[in-house]
Structure formats: C-alpha cells, structure tokens
Amino acid sequence: LQQTIGKYVKNLDPESLNVAVWSGKIELNSLELDVESINSLLDKQAEEAPNFAMPFKILSGRFESFQVDVPWSAIASRPVVLRARGLSVMVEP
C-alpha cells in the first residue's frame, strides 16, 4: 500500500501501515491528497494520451477514511475489499 497509496497521500506512516497490512484490517483516517504527485501523474498521462487529458488541475483533496480488508487465510478465494469514504476534491480549470 505504501508503494501505491503512499505516492498520492501525505503523511502516511510506512511503519504503522506495514504492521496493519499483516493484521488484515487497515483503516486510515483524514488522508490529505498529495496534489503535486496527482497533478504530475495527470500531466504525464495527458502527454501519453492527449485525448484522455483531464481539463483541470487539482488544488486540494482529502478522504475522511480509507479501509482495506485483506482475507489472508482465504486470499485465493475471497476478495480484498477497499472502502473509501468522504472524498472531497477541489479543482480549477
């Protein structure tokens, strides 16, 4: 998760996250989006596929909570569940 989510949110503690992953239940609260990283990714994608470019820039954003449930004992037969609540994003053209 640090390598995926950690790129796009600020102040994610990798130590805590690593311990939580092995418990199978992760809940992260009050996540602030790293708008520089997200805008950089959007710019890169726009260069690669101009027809799919987003016509805006992200100014700020946050999640109230982000939960991940990993069923380690049945990982091959049960899904990993992601829940995101309270996404708020401010953009400008």
Cα–Cα distance, 43 to 27 (Å, whole number): 30
Q: Is residue 12 part of a domain?
A: no
Q: Is residue 40 part of a domain?
A: yes
Total domains in the chain come to 1
pTM summary value? 0.71
Q: Is residue 26 part of a domain?
A: yes
**Position with higher pLDDT, 9 vs 11:** 9
The pLDDT tens digits for 22-72 are 778 888 888 999 999 999 999 998 889 988 888 899 999 999 998 889 898
pLDDT at 5 over 70: yes
Q: Is residue 8 part of a domain?
A: no
SS3 at position 82: strand
pLDDT at 19 over 90: no
